[in-house]
């Protein structure tokens, strides 16, 4: 355990699902329902979990046997998600408070998510986060979603900051890969569904055990390296 100092940071970019929003149970229920409906059985949860951080379309193409089935599976997933979304999605403890404090301190803020805009906005509203983020980058905005650097680079452009002036916080190796490829500093959220080893392999600059560790990291100490 050692303090990590991040100097010159002007903006914090966040993933949404698994980072600010506790959505794992919601996502897994939708996955199991979709697989059971279309395949008659459910592959192990780890198979789906390994793709967390990718777009839903990318995930579903791993299971659908042809393009028509993929589209049908996407429809099933989204319809079921809409029916249970508000009951299962919630912000992680201190998420909204930490983001509000970052805003108060003058940091630029952006969401960089693999969730489509309509669903992302619905989730952010539910979590009380929308008012803090002027920049929200979703798959509709780019040709290449995470783990490609394009979504992060677009968010940086919209914020008007250079890559070395930004920290990208995410819970998946795909988030860390996207941030690193774009040239930002990266911090891995350990409260998401990925084991620490998977995140260590992605080589983030720091590990976060709780939401407010972002504030400590930017203050020059308290975050696990």
Same domain, 100 and 166: yes
Question: Which positions of the chain have pLDDT values less than 50?
Answer: 1-2, 221-225
pLDDT at 7: 84
pLDDT value for 221 = 42
**What was the pLDDT predicted at 222?**
38
| 142 occurs within a structural domain | yes
Q: What is the pLDDT of residue 145?
A: 93
- Asked whether residue 29 falls in the same domain as residue 138, the answer is no
Q: What pLDDT does 44 receive?
A: 95
Do 201 and 118 belong together in one domain? yes
Residues 6+ apart with CB under 8 A from 30: 77, 80, 81, 84
- The pLDDT assigned to 5 comes to 64
Same domain, 179 and 136: yes
Task: For residue 175, give its domain range.
Answer: 11-22+90-218
pLDDT tens-digit map of 154-167: 999 999 999 999 99
Angle at 82 between CA 74 and CA 39, to 5 degrees: 35
pLDDT of 4: 63
Number of domains making up the chain: 2
Q: Please name which of 62, 57, 56, 54 lies closest in space to residue 15, comparing C-alpha atoms.
A: 54
In the annotation, is 17 catalytic? no
- Tell me the C-alpha to C-alpha distance, in Å, between residue 214 and each of 103, 107, 143, 167: 13, 12, 30, 9
Which one of the listed residues 15, 22, 171, 205 is annotated catalytic?
15
The upper half-sphere exposure of residue 209, i.e. CA atoms within 13 Å in the direction of its Cβ, equals 6
**Is-contact 22 82, C-beta < 8 A?**
no
């Amino acid at each position: 355990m050692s303090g990590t100092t991040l100097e010159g940071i002007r903006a914090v970019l966040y993933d949404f699902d698994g980072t600010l929003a506790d959505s794992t149970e919601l996502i897994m229920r939708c996955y199991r329902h979709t697989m059971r409906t279309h395949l008659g059985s459910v592959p192990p949860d780890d198979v789906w979990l390994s793709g967390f951080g990718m777009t839903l379309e990318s995930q579903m193409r791993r299971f659908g046997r042809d393009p028509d089935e993929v589209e049908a599976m996407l429809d099933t997933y989204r319809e079921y998600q809409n029916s249970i979304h508000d009951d299962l999605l919630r912000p992680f403890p201190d998420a909204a408070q930490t983001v509000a404090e970052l805003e108060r301190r003058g940091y630029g803020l952006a969401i960089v998510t693999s969730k489509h805009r309509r669903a992302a906005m619905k989730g952010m509203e539910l979590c009380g986060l929308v008012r803090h983020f002027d920049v929200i980058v979703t798959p509709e905005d780019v040709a290449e979603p995470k783990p490609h650097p394009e979504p992060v680079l677009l968010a940086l452009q919209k914020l008007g900051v250079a890559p070395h002036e930004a920290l990208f916080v995410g819970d998946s190796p795909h988030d860390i890969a996207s941030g690193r490829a774009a040239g930002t500093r990266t911090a891995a959220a350990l409260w998401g569904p990925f084991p620490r080893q998977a995140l260590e392999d992605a080589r983030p600059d720091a590990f976060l055990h709780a939401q407010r560790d972002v504030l400590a990291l930017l203050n020059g100490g308290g975050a696990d390296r």
